Structure 1
Amino acid sequence: MKTNVIYLLVLLLVSSCASKKEVLYMQDAMTEASGEVKYNSATIQPNDILKITVETLVPEAALPYNKTSSQGMQPQNVQLLQLEGYLVSLDNTIKFPVLGEISTDNQTTKQLETTIKEKLVSGGHLLSPTVNVRLVNAKVTILGEVNQPGTYSFTEQNITLLQALGYAGDLTINGKRNDILITREVDGLRKVSHIDLTSASFMNSEFYFIKPNDVIVVNPNNPRVKNAGFVGDVGTILTIASLALSITILLSR
């Protein structure tokens, strides 16, 4: 009788625990993590908000090409930057003072700086202007088995997947670390990728750096699914069958 009870307890513990291999990050970091870090800039997308400033040696000459707040001062926080920014339309254009409509299609912020500068010079508007373009509404959405799911804004040009997960307070112990789902929209196309955080190989993929509007989904691991009352795989079914058989034997004695 006691032996059967111990057997049942062992089965329950084994079926509800995550192994060390499922929990640890980048277990092969010593062999897979080394390599060149390739920084990249995301292309400008519809609904992006851009802060664009134009400067010259004579500040007054650049005034017609800059937006200022109603108080005549440059905005200092992100919310004001967004209000004073240029919203990219669904056809990938912005309306710029004096120059009119400018295409942002398939351009990074750096490329758009060059485009605007060339238009200012070739059109005889300004001599040797300096143009700065900055994305001010970059965000990433993180859902699922993390401590603080939600949508997070960031101002850096490049943040990594691990940094983004850090914003959400890291994965819970129930997060499935070997199958992180990332969806990304680029130039009207949607990409979906599955990332294994238990291996450092993802650091050499295009999804190591997060791009604006990425969605990260952390699904629950098998123990979490089992605890929720769902049957996850054949092993679970066999475990349940073994428990049922053992209980039947105990009751028949």
Structure 2
Amino acid sequence: MIKITMRNHFLLLLFIPFLFSCIPAKDIIYLQGEPIAKKEIKRINNIPYKLQVDDILNIDIKSNDETLVSVFKKQSSNSKNTTIDESQMFFNGYSIDSYGNIRMPTLGEVNVLGYTELEVRKKIENELKKFIKTQEELFVSVKLAGIKYTAIGEIGSPGPNIIYQNKLSIIDAISSSGDITAVGNRKKVEIIRNSITGTEKFTIDLTQISAFDSDVFYIKPNDIINVIPLKQKTWGTGTTGLGALTTIVSLFTLISTTFILARNL
């Protein structure tokens, strides 16, 4: 009677991995489904980013007479090196301090906190006109020195990252951070966003093609991408049938050994 009971228990344990522990394919495949034909073009809700403390700006001032504007430009520490890297941007760019200011040659402190790139460009142009009275044409370029984000949780390469693009989708960001692990929840990826108005949290389902229509499909600078784990990781029984089976067999062996030793006592 004991052998039959133990055998039934063993068969039950064999089925547990396949019923509860295996991760279905639909939970790990990105952008499933067919795109829905649009009758009208939807305008992307791309609200201009407002600058925050510790952002770094790349500001370039040009004119027909370069000697005229040279006093307003920061001298590059390695002007001969055309390769862009994070350290170069840090030392040659304009970092926004805790008061929301950048410090420019001749112009001095310029407050840019809460401004967009376009607004900062116009503000600098107006400041330059106070010093330059001639009819020389000025060209001012203001760009954020890359899009910085931080990926945490079930991600291949967690930590901060900077992508030198004007626009960055969450798919690009996740790909650049080593992709989501096998036990990461692709159906509920969290995006934590800090702004001058406070902190917001959004979620996006990356397993559905409808993710392209999400307002948070394109991330903003300083976003935090948090990939929470699936329940399978909490259970600790493996992500595949074989892995779960190995765990269950080991557990069954331990129980059987304990039971046999207890009978012989």
Q: Is the structural similarity TM-score above 0.5?
A: yes
Is contact 2:147–2:168 with CA below 8 Å preserved after alignment? Answer: no
Deviations 1:66-103 (CA, angstroms, capped at 9, x unpaired): 01135676875332232022111222221222222222
1:54 aligns with 2:68: no
- Flag structure 1 segments of 5+ consecutive residues without an equivalent: 230-242
Is the partner of 2:102 in helix, strand or coil?
strand
Q: Distance in 2 between matches of 1:30 and 1:121?
A: 51
1:177 aligns with 2:186: yes
TM-score (norm 2): 0.77
1:21 aligns with 2:30: no
Match of 2:127 among 119, 127, 145: 119
Q: Distance in 1 between matches of 2:129 and 2:166?
A: 27
Q: Distance in 2 between matches of 1:71 and 1:90?
A: 27
Q: CA deviation at 1:175?
A: 0.7
Is contact 1:121–1:128 with CA below 8 Å preserved after alignment? Answer: no
The residue type paired with residue 94 of structure 2 is Y
- My pick for the range that moved more, 92-101 or 43-52, is 92-101
Percent identity reads 25
* CA pair 17-72 structure 1, distance change in 2 beyond 3 A: closer
* Total equivalences in the alignment: 236
Q: CA deviation at 1:52?
A: 1.1
The residue type paired with residue 128 of structure 2 is L
Alignment of 1:35-184 (within 5 A): 35-70=42-77, 76-78=83-85, 79-124=87-132, 127-136=136-145, 138-184=147-193
- Flag structure 2 segments of 5+ consecutive residues without an equivalent: 239-250, 260-265
Cα-Cα RMSD: 3.1
Alignment of 1:236-251 (within 5 A): none
Q: CA deviation at 1:139?
A: 1.5
Deviations 1:134-179 (CA, angstroms, capped at 9, x unpaired): 2225321111112222211111121000100001121111111111
Runs of 4+ aligned residues of structure 1 deviating over 4 Å after TM superposition are 32-40, 70-76
1:235 corresponds to which residue?
Answer: none
Is the partner of 2:188 in helix, strand or coil?
strand
Higher Rg of the two aligned structures: 2
Q: Distance in 1 between matches of 2:24 and 2:93?
A: 49
* CA pair 144-108 structure 1, distance change in 2 beyond 3 A: same
Match of 1:186 among 176, 181, 195: 195
